[in-house]
Amino acid sequence: MQALVTPEWLNGRLNDEKTVVVDCRFLLNNPEAGESAYRQDHIPGAFYFHLERDLSGEKAEHGGRHPLPPVDRLAALFSRVGIDESVTVIAYDDQEMSMAGRLWWLLRYLGHERVAVLDGGYAAWKRAGYPVTAELPAAVPRTFVPRVQAHMLADVNGVRERGADTVLLDSRAIERYRGEQETIDPVAGHIPGALPFFYKDNLTADKTMKDAESLKARVAPFAGKEIIVYCGSGVTACTNLLALHVAGRPDAKLYAGSWSDWITYPENPIATGDE
């Protein structure tokens, strides 16, 4: 399935019982803001998934700020809102498609390809004048059967031991990549050898995804190479993974723990500045 859908496409399928819409709005600096906004208004029929309660696991010594949830917990969550292999899932947010991208990636990681992100998020939906509501939806539970796609995931060892033909892309702002500014994680800098690839550079001024040709040009230098993408905690990297998918590179891997996992290993080297 295509990675992105338009508000027009989604509006035409709101009454389709085999389409499940999920609101993923979330602010890192205000963890309850997304759900509060959802309760004020959302796309009709949309359920709400919270990044930290639903789409992340429990924090531990390693694994980063937003570790992957246990597979059985995700399967129970998806089952509860009526997702099975026959259902198409559309995720949206208002955070440059990174939170929705996290759900998109998780579903694909568990073998569910019928999932896409609303291009431009909730703002694009409202700009188009489509309906919103505060009414909470009633779920029709189904049984989600996970089929883990381990090849989509890179762990810390995979990043350490990557070969010369593997490109490591850092999705964070250039100031964080260089180690000039770090307001989230306790250590500044980047993984040695990583290239800066800011996730917002995939977007137009209205926060929709750039066209496929522009994205293909951006990733052209990586032709024939394996790609691993990371960010601070494995969330904004998902906007890059969406862009890579649109650009014809659906094979790119996510280092889910990302920088916040890397720095929990004292033996891991750290780079600053440009490379």
Which active-site residues does the annotation give? 231
CA–CA separation, 222 and 167 (whole Å): 7
Nearest alpha-carbon partner for 20 in 112, 125, 131, 145: 112
CA–CA separation, 115 and 128 (whole Å): 22
Give the residues across from 26 on adjacent strands.
Answer: none
Handedness of CA 53, 58, 59, 64 (dihedral sign): negative
DSSP 28-62: TTBTTHHHHHHHH-BSTT-EE--TTTTSS----SS
CA–CA separation, 250 and 151 (whole Å): 11
CA–CA separation, 88 and 158 (whole Å): 32
CA–CA separation, 136 and 41 (whole Å): 10
